[in-house]
Amino acid sequence: MALYSEKVMEHFTNPRNVGKIEDADGVGEVGNAKCGDIMKIYLKIENDIITDVKFNTFGCGSAIASSSMATELIKGKPLSQALELTNKAVAEALDGLPAHKMHCSVLAEEAIRSAIKNYYDKNGIAYDKTQFPEPHDEEEEHFSEED
């Protein structure tokens, strides 16, 4: 089997929703300390629905494909559903990622979460803090394997 699925390659070469939303309602930026990759997500939100989403990812192909897929999965969805999006769901929607690239999909989950938190904070909206754990860092289990 090829290392990367056709979907990963397709989203990497033709990523959806790339860019920036100038008047975004929520912006989230996360990075992975080990690989140095950075992902930024911009959300437009109306009545708790994500009406638009864009991303900028300075990172590897899997991170770009994960951002692209994740934005597709949350566009038009309620915030509650976007908050439930896991990195595993992103990886599954991409027909899988190699084990040592799973951490790239974690960035997408965390960037979305961080953008939603930013929206809540900016608007003084109360939220359940347990839904926003601190982003992963350092000793990611996925890094136990050599790249």
State how beta strands 26-31 and 49-58 pair. unpaired
Contact indicator for 24, 44 with CB cutoff of 8 Å: yes
- 35 assigned to active site: yes
Among 31-39, 68-76, 80-88, 90-98, which window interacts with ligand FES (CB under 6 A)? 31-39
Tokens of residue 68, six digits: 């692209």
Q: How many angstroms separate the CA atoms of 1 and 28, rounded?
A: 35
Among 11, 24, 28, 37, binds ligand FES (CB under 6 A): 37
Q: Is 60 in the site for ligand FES (CB under 6 A)?
A: yes
Residue 60 designated active-site? no
Q: Which of residues 108-147 bind ligand FES (CB under 6 A)?
A: none
Give 60 or 112: the residue with its C-beta nearer to ligand FES: 60
Q: Which amino acid, residue 76?
A: G
Residues with a known catalytic role: 35, 104
